[in-house]
Amino acid sequence: MNAPGAPIGLSLPRREAGEKATGAALYAGDMVMAGMLHGAIVQSPHAHARILGYDITEAMALPGVRAVVTGDDIEFRYMGLVVKDETAIAKAKVRYIGEPVAAVAAIDVETARRAAQLIEVRYQPLPAVTTIEEALRDGAPLLHEDFAKYTKIYDAPVGRGNLLAHSIATQGDPAKGFAMADAVVEETYAIAAQYHAYMEPCAALAAFDPSGKVTVWSSTQSIFRTQANLHECLGLPMTKIRCIAPRVGGGFGGKSEATIEPIAVLLAKKARAPVRLVLSRNQDMTAMRSRHPGWIRLKTGATREGRLVARECELWFDGGAYADDSPAVMNFALYFVRGPYDIPNVHCEGHAVYTNRMRAGAFRGFGNPQMTFASESQMDALAKKLGMDPIEFRIKNALPKGARWFGGQAVTESTLVEALETARDRAGWIKPLAPAPLGKRRGRGVAAMAHSSAFLSTGAIVRLQNDGTIAVQVGAVDIGQGSDTALAQMAASAFQLPVEQINLATPDTDSAPYNSGTNASRVTFMVGKAVGEAAFKVRDQIIEHAAAMLGVTRDEVSLAPGGRVVVTGGSRRNAEVSFADVAARSIWAVGGPVTGSSAVMASHAMDKSHTKMSGWLSFEAVGIYTFGAQVVEVEIDEVTGAVEIMRAVCVHDVGRAINPGATVGQIEGGFAQGLGYGLFEDMVFEDGRLANPSFMDYKIPSALEVPKKIECVLIEKPEASHPFGARGIGEPPLVGAAAAIANAVANAIGKSITRLPLTPERVLRAMLEE
Amino acid sequence: MTTTRFHAPERLDEAIRLLAADDEARPLAGGQTLVAMLNADLLSPSQIISLHRIAALKGIEKRSDGSVRIGAMTTHAGLARSDVLRDGHRLLAQAAGRIGHEAIRNRGTIGGAVAHGDPSADYPPALVALDAVIEAVGPKGKREIPASDFFQGFLTTALGQGEIVAAIILPPSLNQARTHYEKFARVEGDFATVSVAVALWRGGVRIALGGVGPVPVRSAEAEAELQAGQLSDAAINDAGALLVAASDPLDDVRGSADYRRRLIPRLVKRAIRAAQAKDAR
């Protein structure tokens, strides 16, 4: 497939590196239009309250104010991926502290902010439920009285108070499995809410054209989900909604669904002018999303030979005030209940609950980091009980190629054993650690992980341009992870062109084929596949034209580097035409424009006879399991309990690294974000109010907390179902990081901590209790 | 509708006059706290009086009596690498070097940080341990306030209306001390969960804690105990318990009050041993 010189496997610089480094890159918050107004939002001070009315007189009287929008400006129209339960802006009730309840558009940001302070909302406070336990109490106040009436795409637990989703799955015979077990470990693991902490807070610019069509430039992971959400909550037909993604400063799942686009559109409509709305960091942290907090009770049994025989799991996720992706995230967590292991008997139950807290949503790993923390912690506890080496124990239970995934899908490739063995060798696992200096303790831990690459649907359009270069149109947004560069490399490789001759169109719902989103580790895998399929169609047409132009058969020509088609044999050997010649023929003489399109859908059959499931979303559009293993060394300060990561070895199956530099970047970044999740990131909610809504109080890792060198080892075994052999690597490096760190800490202090994050306080307490 | 006016006077008396005339006016030094508060809508001053152009607030100078006068507009980075601060006075440079991150240290000033009076910040315990004096200038002229009297409560100082910090003066005596600043924070660049400033000299011991009360915490009994017990482990344990009793920590995102109480004796011991290790020089 890969001709010499084709740009697959090269660490080419990012296409947009220069503009980002110089500050020239345009993000939604940088964009300006003639007559543009600036938006500001008003946020709810109540965790739960009925909205009695608004007084906007003073705000409207402020010179420079053009429009105020409240719940009175909208109808009860609902948006949402799995439950349609959210209006464009709060209407009738507010359900969490920080919820946008009104917004204003004015001639400048200062005026808009001042006007926002002048808007009076009259509330009747209602009793609030701010924890899972409170939400489930008998007679607890309901967040959504109309839950039964909402559109839902799964079998939802209607009439069970604030319970949003309840899913059960059984494989094999767990009772029989536990009866066979010689060692059983049971533990409850608690997990905290993590903030997405993308560099760019949510931002949107909305502008109506004279025909009544609105264009929205926003910081989003999906132009098509933005369009769908706007359609649902505003009642506009999609013919009147155009969504564009300019440069986007990170997402990590937090921008998978609508953010503030609906409010920007409402303001633009009412003010009859373009409106740009940019959240402050504080607003973003209190109004948007988090990773799901909650708890997982896990029980696992193994034989004395170290064979896993049974597992039982009870999972509770706090979904916050709106469903967002919660049922899907909870289901995905359960989907990884076995981790990457072959456990024949499993029973699990998962729950997502509405509470009066900011919604939780998609976040890099999508429920898997929580489950992997529990599962991998338990694997170490079991290994200890059995007196087995943790890596040996994992290898013994690794899910092999050809086995079934939980749910019944076929596992088409497994590199878990290779990943674990590579991590063991690279980390020098069998050698004891050097003794710790006085006052410190050292430990080493491992975590194995699996994640999926295939997800939902996408398409691509590839066109030959007049000068012989190639235009690629996809709906995928590069949110900073480098997918534009990877897609260009794949397209360039299909044509044996330098990447500079690939134009990647700005994601725009007016011109791009559908793509579900930049999430689920899917762009290089799914969109890359679509680009490949469309590119090959164009390549075929180019060859057909060229053969006709050269007066030979198709078999006598082949593509040559640099945009040429050359005759390979016979009397006309070495005669050639250029791509530009082909383009000219197609548009002026024969055949019409050379264009190829593709439609790709992930489809991986599940098997009800393998796993019985109820209350689940369908997961047939999820698949292609990818494995990895990480080994971490820590040093703990006996005086304070602080944990320092001394070394991290991250081994990941990437199929084929399209751009190894970017692949390693994903692994380093994923591990760093997992380090924050493992050690200190914690959105602290006190009665529904975020106690640390700033980077002063909420800390993410800086360069000084991340180990100097994260040793990345790529396992490259090209994935057969992908035209360029790639697999997704966006999420796997984060999935097991907290677990590997927790296991290293447990190894250092001789005691396992079952609550994330592993703050110095928790570590010190554990050490002092010994 | 009000707008914020901006002034950047060259003369100190002009700045004082502007500030004294308007209690909604705020002085701007390095802006590392003020600008963040403006961005968070926590403050909307009528006027911002920049102190950047005032020469009288700049510079670090060693005076003939051995004391050091640090102009209020000296940045943390400037202080951290100043070679005017020597021996015992290095405590303050050490504290300056632990404030926030490099970018913050390049902009933030000692005058602004001290005037803010945050008990989890790095300067307050260091200044108290060094017996520093705050030189304040206001409409009634200049006065000198000992650091131990200057910090009066959470974000509350002895500064009056229109009064600003003009300089910090480190007395010569503690230059002879062995000193150390020990800070523990969740991550590099955070405010202290607990910090300990220690000065040890022939005639005494001084310890001031940050992050465990509304102002830097000292305990005369603890210092006497350490002095009498010649810094033995036993004396440090007793002193640690006395300092815990003198502290009044809060539960917050940087740690629970209980955790802070546990840290106090542990970090005090670490700080004392680190200060003693500097003896060799």
pLDDT in tens, A157-173: 999 999 999 999 999 99
Q: Residues 222-251, chain B: which have Cβ within 8 Å of A?
A: none
pLDDT in tens, A344-374: 999 999 999 999 999 999 999 999 999 999 9
Q: Which of B172, B190, B208 is the last residue of a domain?
A: B172
State the pLDDT at residue A432.
Answer: 96
pLDDT in tens, A679-692: 999 999 999 999 99
What sign results for the dihedral spanned by CA atoms B151, B156, B160, B162? positive
State the pLDDT at residue A603.
Answer: 95
**What is the average per-residue pLDDT within A436-456?**
97
**What is the average per-residue pLDDT within A456-484?**
97
Quote the CA–CA distance of A240 and A680 in Å, as a whole number: 45
The CATH number corresponding to A294-455+606-768 among 3.30.40.230, 3.40.50.2300, 3.40.50.1100, 3.30.365.10 equals 3.30.365.10
Q: Could B186 and A760 be called an inter-chain contact, meaning their C-beta atoms sit closer than 8 Å?
A: yes
Please determine, for residue A208, whether its predicted confidence score (pLDDT) is greater than 70. yes
Question: At the top level of CATH, which class does the domain A34-126+199-250+255-287 belong to?
Answer: alpha beta
Confidence of residue A770 (pLDDT cuts 50, 70, 90): low
- Per mean pLDDT, which range of A52-56, B39-43, B216-220 is the poorest? B39-43
Q: Could A642 and B189 be called an inter-chain contact, meaning their C-beta atoms sit closer than 8 Å?
A: no
Q: Please list, in sequence order, all residues whose beta carbon lies within 8 angstroms of the beta carbon of residue A624, skipping any fewer than 6 positions away.
A: A412, A452, A453, A454, A525, A602, A604, A719, A721, A727, A728
> Nearest CB to B39: which of A280, A639, A697?
A280
Please determine, for residue A244, whether its predicted confidence score (pLDDT) is greater than 50. yes
Cβ-in-10-Å burial (0-12, 13-18, 19+) of B22 comes to middle
pLDDT in tens, A508-533: 999 999 999 999 999 999 999 999 99
pLDDT in tens, A714-762: 999 999 999 999 999 999 999 999 999 999 999 999 999 999 999 999 9
Confidence of residue A558 (pLDDT cuts 50, 70, 90): very high
Q: Are residues B254 and B199 in the same domain?
A: yes
Domain count, chain B: 3
- Domain with B111, as residue range(s), is 55-172
Please determine, for residue B281, whether its predicted confidence score (pLDDT) is greater than 60. no
Q: Could B186 and A680 be called an inter-chain contact, meaning their C-beta atoms sit closer than 8 Å?
A: yes
Q: Please list, in sequence order, all residues whose beta carbon lies within 8 angstroms of the beta carbon of residue A703, skipping any fewer than 6 positions away.
A: none
pLDDT in tens, B102-123: 999 999 999 999 999 999 999 9
The domain made up of A17-23+457-601 is a member of CATH 1.20.1630.10: no
pLDDT in tens, A63-72: 999 999 999 9
State the pLDDT at residue A317.
Answer: 98
Check if A680 contacts B (Cβ < 8 Å): yes
CATH number at residue B27: 3.30.43.10
DSSP secondary structure, chain B, as one string: ----EEE--SSHHHHHHHHHH-TTEEEESS-TTHHHHHHTTS---SEEEE-TT-GGG--EEE-TTS-EEEETT-BHHHHHT-SSS-GGGHHHHHHHTTSS-HHHHHH-BHHHHHHHT-TTSSHHHHHHHTT-EEEEEETTEEEEEEHHHHEEETTEES--TT-EEEEEEE-SGGGGSEEEEEEE-SSTTSPPSEEEEEEEETTEEEEEEESSSSS-B--HHHHHHHHHTTT-HHHHHHHHHHHHHH-----BTTB-HHHHHHHHHHHHHHHHHHHHHGGG-
Q: Could B253 and A682 be called an inter-chain contact, meaning their C-beta atoms sit closer than 8 Å?
A: yes
pTM over 0.90: yes
| Residue in chain A lying closest to B184 (CA) | A640
The type of residue at A467 is D
Give the helix/strand (H/E) hosting A183. Answer: strand A183-191
Check if B270 contacts A (Cβ < 8 Å): yes
Q: Are residues B21 and B114 in the same domain?
A: no
| Residue in chain A lying closest to B42 (CA) | A282
Quote the CA–CA distance of A100 and A97 in Å, as a whole number: 9
Start and end residues for every CATH 3.30.365.10 domain found in chain A: 17-23+457-601, 294-455+606-768
Please determine, for residue A5, whether its predicted confidence score (pLDDT) is greater than 50. no
Q: Could B253 and A684 be called an inter-chain contact, meaning their C-beta atoms sit closer than 8 Å?
A: yes
Q: Could B267 and A639 be called an inter-chain contact, meaning their C-beta atoms sit closer than 8 Å?
A: yes
State the pLDDT at residue B2.
Answer: 62
Please determine, for residue A264, whether its predicted confidence score (pLDDT) is greater than 70. yes
Region of residue A217 (left: phi > 0; alpha: psi -120 to 50; beta: else): beta
Q: What is the CA A593 to chain-centroid distance, rounded?
A: 37
Q: Could A682 and B186 be called an inter-chain contact, meaning their C-beta atoms sit closer than 8 Å?
A: no
* ipTM of the complex in this document: 0.95
Check if B266 contacts A (Cβ < 8 Å): yes
Name every chain B residue with its beta carbon within 8 A of the beta carbon of A697: 253
CATH number at residue B102: 3.30.465.10
Rg (CA), chain B: 19
Q: Are residues B104 and B189 in the same domain?
A: no
CATH number at residue B270: 3.30.390.50
Confidence of residue B279 (pLDDT cuts 50, 70, 90): low
**What is the average per-residue pLDDT within A633-660?**
98
Q: Are residues B157 and B188 in the same domain?
A: no
**What is the average per-residue pLDDT within B226-251?**
97
Confidence of residue A709 (pLDDT cuts 50, 70, 90): confident
**What is the average per-residue pLDDT within A604-630?**
96
Q: Are residues B185 and B237 in the same domain?
A: yes
Sheet order of strands, A564-567 included? A557-560, A564-567, A576-578
Check if A701 contacts B (Cβ < 8 Å): yes
Q: Could B253 and A704 be called an inter-chain contact, meaning their C-beta atoms sit closer than 8 Å?
A: no
Q: Are residues B70 and B27 in the same domain?
A: no
pLDDT in tens, B32-79: 999 999 888 889 899 999 999 999 999 999 999 999 999 999 999 999
Cβ-in-10-Å burial (0-12, 13-18, 19+) of A736 comes to buried
In Å, how far are A12, A614, A661, A669 from A703, measured between CA atoms?
24, 45, 18, 11
> Phi/psi at A338 (nearest 5 deg)?
-90, -5
Quote the CA–CA distance of A495 and A284 in Å, as a whole number: 43
Start and end residues for every CATH 3.90.1170.50 domain found in chain A: 34-126+199-250+255-287
Q: Are residues B101 and B46 in the same domain?
A: no
DSSP secondary structure, A109-140, as one string: HHHHHHHHHH-EEEEEE-----SHHHHHSTTP
Q: Are residues B63 and B46 in the same domain?
A: no
**What is the average per-residue pLDDT within A395-415?**
96
Q: Which of B107, B140, B172 is the last residue of a domain?
A: B172
